[in-house]
């Protein structure tokens, strides 16, 4: 799996090409010479035991952590040299593991801030809440089941609603690559079901990388599964292939 980087002329076929990605924290290689490729409109699920480096991989792609070596190319743009906000503007959206929303603002304002316009200081000062913004916020709010909560302070939403709100905040930017870190963690059964439904709707026309532990959920949505273990790829392929891989069973699924 950790093959040498493929030649450049093949790269444009992929939306995201991660090659030889390595990051070490004080000598500890959290991600070790990792290579994988995500196609357009592909749903990729990353699974693996705790400490396998799953979240770190997302951090590396979105620029939150800087790679020690290797490359991350998105539509042929090298991301490892870009600033975080430039990566976002290039079309990569990232949802954090814990719902990361603005407690002191309303649901409407949370979504409005994420609306991709007026992102500079001057743009933000002169930003007008016009019909296009209101319509788009309304549309997204309906998608994430929060249309009736637009004027509520985000602080007072339930845990599941906060997760949906953050997904909505990404959705309003319409990213080409959406990265979700455990989107159903901590949710009730009913919320889980609704979230799966939501994800199935929003993953159309974009590529998605999901980190998830819930195997039922993974089976439902994954096109391809990557199993990480100690910063390296242990196995990769369809859910069926991965599940029958003895190495995977031993380190992860077995217990």
Partner 1 sequence: MKPAIAPAFSLGLKDLIGVVILGLVLVVLLPLVLDPFRLNMVGKYLTYAFVAVGLVLCWGNAGILSLGQGVFFGLGGYCMAMYLKLEASTPEATKIQSTPGIPDFMDWNQLTELPFFWVPFKSLGLSLAAVVLVPAAFALIIAYALFKRRVGGVYFAIITQALAAIMTILIVGQQGYTGGINGITDLRTLHGWDIRTDSAKTLLYFVNAGLLIGVILLCQFVRRSKLGRILVAMRDKEDRVRFSGYDVASYKIFVFCFAAALAGVGGAMFTLQVGFMSPSFVGITPSIEMVIYTAVGGRLSLLGAVYGTLLVNWAKTSFSESFPELWLFGLGGLFIAVVLLFPNGLAGLYRAYVEPRLGSLFGRKGAEPKASPAPAE
Nearest CB to partner 1, comparing residues 24 and 138: 138
Nearest CB to partner 1, comparing residues 6 and 96: 96
Establish if 141 lies at the interface with partner 1 (CB under 8 A): yes
* Nearest approach, Cβ of residue 153 and partner 1 (Å): 8
* Nearest approach, Cβ of residue 26 and partner 1 (Å): 20
Establish if 77 lies at the interface with partner 1 (CB under 8 A): no
Establish if 118 lies at the interface with partner 1 (CB under 8 A): yes
Query: How is residue 253 written in tokens?
Result: 């699924």
Establish if 147 lies at the interface with partner 1 (CB under 8 A): yes
Establish if 32 lies at the interface with partner 1 (CB under 8 A): no
Stretch that binds partner 1, among 8-16, 119-127, 188-196, 197-205 (CB under 8 A): 119-127
**Count of residues in contact with partner 1, rule CB under 8 A:** 42
Nearest CB to partner 1, comparing residues 211 and 233: 211
* 20 Cβ contact list (under 8 Å, min separation 6): 5, 33, 34, 35, 69, 70, 71
d(CA 163, CA 170): 11
Where does the chain show beta strands of DSSP type E?
Answer: 16-25, 28-38, 43-47, 69-74, 77-78, 92-95, 177-181, 207-211, 224-229, 232-237
* Residues 13/40, Cβ–Cβ less than 8 Å: no
Site string for partner 1, 190-229 (x = CB under 8 A): ----------------------------------------
Alpha helices (H) in 80-214, listed in sequence order: 84-90, 107-114, 121-125, 131-143, 159-171, 189-202
Binding footprint of partner 1 on the chain (CB under 8 A): 62, 64, 83-85, 88-89, 93-94, 96, 100-106, 108-110, 112-114, 116, 118-121, 124-127, 134, 137-138, 141, 147, 150-151, 166, 169, 173
């Amino acid at each position: 799996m950790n093959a040498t980087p493929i030649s450049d002329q093949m790269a444009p076929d992929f939306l995201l090409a991660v090659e030889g990605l390595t990051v070490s924290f004080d000598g500890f290689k959290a991600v070790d010479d990792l290579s994988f490729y995500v196609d357009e409109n592909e749903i990729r699920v990353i699974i693996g035991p705790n400490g396998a480096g799953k979240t770190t991989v997302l951090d590396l792609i979105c620029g939150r952590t800087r790679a020690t070596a290797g490359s991350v190319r998105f539509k042929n743009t090298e991301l490892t040299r870009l600033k975080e906000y430039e990566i976002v503007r290039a079309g990569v959206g990232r949802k954090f593991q814990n719902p990361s929303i603005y407690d002191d603002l309303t649901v409407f304002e949370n979504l409005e801030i994420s609306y991709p316009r007026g992102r500079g200081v001057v743009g933000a000062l002169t930003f007008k809440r016009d019909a296009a913004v209101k319509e788009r916020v309304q549309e997204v709010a309906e998608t994430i089941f929060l249309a009736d909560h637009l004027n509520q302070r985000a602080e007072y939403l339930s845990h599941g609603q906060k997760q949906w709100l953050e997904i909505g905040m990404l959705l309003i930017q319409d990213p080409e690559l959406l990265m979700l870190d455990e989107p159903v963690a901590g949710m009730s059964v009913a919320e889980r079901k609704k979230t799966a439904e939501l994800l199935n709707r929003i993953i159309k026309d974009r590529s998605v990388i999901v980190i998830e532990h819930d195997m039922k959920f993974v089976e439902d949505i994954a096109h391809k599964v990557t199993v990480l273990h100690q910063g390296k790829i242990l196995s990769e392929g369809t859910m069926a292939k991965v599940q029958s891989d003895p190495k995977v069973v031993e380190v992860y699924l077995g217990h």
